Amino acid sequence: MELTTVWFGLIAVLWAGYFLLEGFDFGVGILLPVLGRDDRERRLLINTIGPVWDGNEVWLIVAGGATFAAFPEWYATLFSGFYLPLLLILVALIIRGVAFEYRGKRGDLRWKRGWDAAIVAGSVVPAILWGVAFGNIVRGVRLDASHEYVGGFFELLNPYALLGGLTTLGLFVLHGAVFLALKTDGPMRERAGSLAARLAVPVIVVAAGFLLWTVLAHPSLSGAILALAAAVALVAGALTIRVRREGWAFVATALTIVLAVAALFVTLFPDVMPSSISTANSLTTANAASTPYTLRVMTWVAVVFTPLVLAYQGWTYWVFRKRLTVERIPV
């Protein structure tokens, strides 16, 4: 197997890991005013992701760095053509991180509500725009012969991409609700489980519509199989959360996200950024890649350090695995 294919697969794994982990982070942030009826309950919700949210964002940094090193042409075209939406995502993530750190610096209720609103906004914006961005990558954008994006910002807000944004938003909110049902106990656990059960049906409808559109517009047997598997996992998550099997429901929603990302990348391959003007203008794993020497060095670095990073993050989740209750939150 060529190293360009290996690194395309590794980048897909990094994005799948990011959406899997940061997905429930975003979901918790969005649900903060929905499930948190008072300040103690909102602090409880924040504490469920407090030890891990910043570690989850490392997956985004590594995915971006791997793309820059393995496929510099892809990185350059992506970040220049999608400059405004990616800037909005970056600003939202910065505001969200600042809000987590500064919310508890003062006891004033208005102060906390302002930062709560920042957490919600900083979670909603990336949850939508990541779906819009990947929807456009799969759909294809206006690239000229120099691989430069020649379209406008509003061309990125097409129906398919917007449906992709709505899909990622719905999946992340559902994933977050299931995570809260798994991570908390008492009344919060019941409310989160009930909300997840109610959210499941509309999320299934939206996600199924997006995956079906993807399969029909970009026929691929492997992509269709992965999309079907993602749909089955999502239905399984809906059924298991209804009977309060939070652990299995979380596994199911996690599989849904991973399989959906895999379906998009398999559908995209061997392109990394298709051109809607001419297929000759498309960026592929061949014409966007770094030199073979660079890819070989990166591969050895990944072989050594990836298991260490995964082991450390797994240990972090194991240490903070216990359920939380509002009674443990100081008044």
> pLDDT over 90 for what percent of the chain?
59
Q: Residue 1's pLDDT is what? A: 61
Write the CA distances from 153 to 81, 83, 128, 163, integer angstroms. Answer: 9, 9, 15, 17
Euclidean distance between CA atoms 32 and 306, whole angstroms: 33
- Which amino acid appears at position 286 of this protein? A
Q: What is the pLDDT of residues 48-81, one digit of tens each?
A: 998 888 888 889 999 998 999 999 999 999 888 8
Dig out the tokens for 31 from the structure: 């649900």
Euclidean distance between CA atoms 288 and 130, whole angstroms: 22
Q: What is the pLDDT of residues 206-223, one digit of tens each?
A: 999 999 999 898 888 998
Write the CA distances from 263 to 9, 211, 220, 231, 256, integer angstroms. Answer: 12, 9, 9, 11, 10
Residue 283 DSSP one-character state: E
Q: What is the pLDDT of residues 239-273, one digit of tens each?
A: 999 998 999 999 999 999 999 999 999 999 999 99
Q: Residue 312's pLDDT is what? A: 85
Handedness of CA 203, 317, 57, 124 (dihedral sign): positive
> pLDDT over 70 for what percent of the chain?
99
Torsion of Cα atoms, 258 then 260 then 266 then 270, to 10°: -90
Average pLDDT over residues 149-168: 91
Nearest to 25 by CA among 50, 58, 43: 50
Euclidean distance between CA atoms 61 and 18, whole angstroms: 9
Q: Is pLDDT above 90 for 17? A: yes
